[in-house]
Amino acid sequence: MKSGFRARNHPAYWAFIVHRASGVLLALFLPLHFWALGRALQGEAGLETFLRWSDQPLVKLAETVLVLLLAAHLAGGVRLLMLEFLAWRDWQKSLLAAAAGVTLAAGLIFLLNLV
């Protein structure tokens, strides 16, 4: 087996991919977020129309995905900071699982709050 293939199957590689992808997707979301905030500046009627539109189930699902992306990016960033600034220990291998657990917990809490 090639060493490049083994590196791509390593959990740290997938943590890197999730962190990078979540950051890119969050950056792509920003223009939509600023557009939504701009609706509030156009007056109460425009904002109310947007808020009614945002009550759709598909939009609620997108909000849950957004929270998962935010949690994944935050957890991955904290993991990277801990790897950068703390001395290496065997328990740091568990940071990948902890980051994934925090991400899923945040998404589940948000989803349960919507119901």
18-67 pLDDT, tens digit each:
899 999 999 999 998 898 888 888 888 888 888 899 899 999 999 999 99
Q: Residue 15: exposed, middle, or buried by beta-carbon count in 10 A (0-12, 13-18, 19+)?
A: buried
Share of the chain above pLDDT 90, in %: 24
CATH code, 52: 1.20.1300.10
Number of domains making up the chain: 1
Token code pair at residue 69: 């992306």
The mean of the pLDDT values for the chain is 84
Residues 6+ apart with CB under 8 A from 30: none
Q: Which domain holds residue 19?
A: 3-114
Taking Cα atoms as reference points, which of 34, 33, 109, 98 lies closest to residue 72? Answer: 98
